[in-house]
Chains A and B, each alone.
Chain A
C-alpha cells in the first residue's frame, strides 16, 4: 500500500519537477547506498545507534533542493512498529524527546536530524540493532517517501561513520 502511494506521489512529483527522480546511488565506485533522492529532495547518511532496546533514534541529513517547502512527517520501517518525528529538549537537566507534528523544510535549505536535535524515533524495534548492520527505512514527507538504507553505528556514536563526506 505504502509503495503504491509512494509510486503515485513520486509520479506526481516527477510531473511537477523536471529533475529525474531516482533512488540515488551516486558513489563513484558504485557502492554507496547512503543517500536517496527524489524530486529535488535528498536524504543522506541515515544512521542509528546499536541497541537492544525497543526504541531507537534515527538521524539523517535532508536537503530540500526543490522549489517548494516540504515537510518531514515521519518514517516507516519493517523492523519497528512505528517511527515518529521527535524533538530534543533538556528538561531540568535531563534529556527528553517530544513527539512533533510535521516540520517544514523550506526550499533550498537543509534539515539535519542529529543527536540532541530533531530525530526520528523507532518504537517497537523487533530485533536488536547491531553495530555495522544495515536496515531499510522509508522517510515520509508530505510529498511522498524516500527509500534508503540505515546504517547502524556504535552504541555511543555521535555521527554517521561517513559524516563529512559529500555522499
Chain B
C-alpha cells in the first residue's frame, strides 16, 4: 500500500488527473465490455432511441441539467476563489492601525472603506526608509465620484498596479487623476469628488477642487478598475490638511516630510524578496501598527469557506444521486414501453443476454448523452454566472471547467451505468408470454 502511495505521489498532477479520470470511468467501460461482449445491438438501440425520441430527449435533458448544476457549482466556487486571490496578488503586505485584518483587507484591496485610525508621518517614514522596502504607498480612501472611489496614493503604486498605462500619462500635479479601466470618464474629463462614498456621500463638499483625468490604467481584474487614483497630496489638500511636504513645496509623491504627513489608513509595502516581506511583517507588527499579508488572510478565509465548498460538493453529488434515482425509475418505466417488442425478440430466438445488452446499451446511451450535454450546460452556466459576478463585484471571475468537474461527471456516469444493470435484469426477467399478450 505504501509503495502504491509513493508511486502515486511520484506522478505529476496532470498524470494523476488523467489516471483518476480513467479509474472513475473504468467501471463503466468494464461493464460495457462485459455486457456487449459478442453482440452488436447498436442498430436496435438506435431504433429504440428514435421510436420514443421525445421521451428519450426529456431524460437526456434531465440528466444534463443535473450534471450541469453539479459541475457549475464546483467550477464557480473555484473561479470565485481564484478571482478574489488574483485581485489581491499585487498587495504583498499591508500595514495599518491595529484592528481587523479582514476589515482592512476589504478596505485596502477590495475598496470597501471602513473607518480606522490613521498611521502617522513617523510611522510611514520608518516604513518607507526601511532597507528592504522598495515600495511604501499610502492608500487614502474616503472620497468618491459616482460609483468610483477616489483613492489618494503615489505614482509608483499606480505603476505597480497597472504596469504601463493603457492611455494618457501618470498624474504629475495636485489636480490630476488616473482612472481605472472601468471608470466612465475619458481622458481630459474633469470632475469634483464627493466627500464619502455611497448614497450618503456629500456632493459639493469639495467644490472648487476639480480633478482632471490625464491617464487610464490597464485592466486589473479587481475593484481598482473602477477606482480613480489621485496624488495622496490631493486628498489631503481637499480636506484642508497639510500636503505631506513643507509649505511652499509643490512636489507630489515621496519622500514625505513626517512633520507634514496628515496620516493614511493603510500603507502598501513591497519588498523585492519574499523572505524580506516576512521580516517586515514581524518588524511592523507592533502596538501601534498591524502588518498582514492579504493573500494569507484570503487563504485563511478560503480555508474556512472550505466547509462551504464541501457542502456545495455534497449538494452536487446529492442532486446527481436524486436524478440517478429518477433516471433509474424512468428507465424501468421505459423498458415497460418496450416490453412487448423485447418479448417478441426473445420469442423469435434472441438470447436473454442479447436482450439484456440491448436494454443496458439503451440506458447507457441516455446517460452518456445526458452527461456530455451536462458538461456543455455547466460550461454555459459557469460563463453566464461568472459574467454576472464580475459585473456585480468588479472582481474578474474566469470560471472554467477543470479536472474535478470531469472527475465528478466520470463518477456519475460509472455509478449510473452500473445501476442501469438493474432495469436490464428486470427487463429480461419478465414473463415473455404475458408481455406478448399485453
Which residues in A have some Cβ–Cβ distance to B below 8 Å?
53-54, 87-90, 92-95, 98, 100-106, 109-112, 115-118, 158
Given contacts A87-B274, A93-B83, A116-B300, 17 further A-B contacts (CB under 8 A): A54-B6, A88-B295, A88-B296, A90-B295, A90-B299, A93-B85, A93-B86, A100-B275, A103-B275, A106-B283, A109-B285, A112-B282, A115-B300, A115-B303, A116-B293, A116-B295, A158-B300
In the A-B complex, list the 6 residue pairs whose CB atoms are closest, starting with the nearest.
A93-B82, A93-B85, A116-B296, A90-B295, A116-B299, A100-B275
- Asked if B283 and A109 make an inter-chain contact with CB atoms under 8 angstroms apart, the answer reads yes
Complex CA gap A95/B306 in Å reads: 13
The answer to whether A89 touches B82 (Cβ under 8 A) is no
Complex Cα gap A104–B281 (Å): 11
Q: How far is the CA of A87 from the CA of B278 in the complex (A)?
A: 8
Distance in angstroms between the alpha carbons of A92 and B400 in the assembled complex? 14
- Per the 8 Å Cβ criterion, residues 218-277 of B in contact with A are 274-275, 277
A89–B285 CB distance below 8 A? no
CB distance from B269 to the nearest CB of A (A): 15
| Contact present for B299 and A118 (CB under 8 Å) | no
Residue on A nearest B82 in the bound complex, by CB: A93
Q: How many B residues touch the partner, as a band? A: 20 to 34
The contact sample of 24 A-B pairs, CB cut-off 8 A, is A87-B275, A89-B274, A89-B295, A90-B299, A93-B81, A93-B83, A93-B85, A93-B86, A95-B299, A100-B275, A100-B278, A101-B275, A104-B279, A105-B282, A106-B282, A110-B282, A112-B282, A116-B293, A116-B297, A116-B300, A117-B293, A118-B278, A158-B300, A158-B303
B183-195 interface code vs A (CB 8 A; 1 in, 0 out):
0000000000000
Q: How far is the CA of A115 from the CA of B301 in the complex (A)?
A: 12
Check A90–B88 contact: CB distance below 8 A. Answer: yes
User: Which of A93, A95, A117 has most B Cβ within 10 Å?
Assistant: A93
Given the known A-B contacts A89-B274, A93-B86, are A116 and B279 also in contact in the complex, defined by CB atoms under 8 Å? no
Q: Determine whether the beta carbon of A90 is less than 8 Å from that of B89.
A: yes
CB nearest to A104 among chain B residues: B279
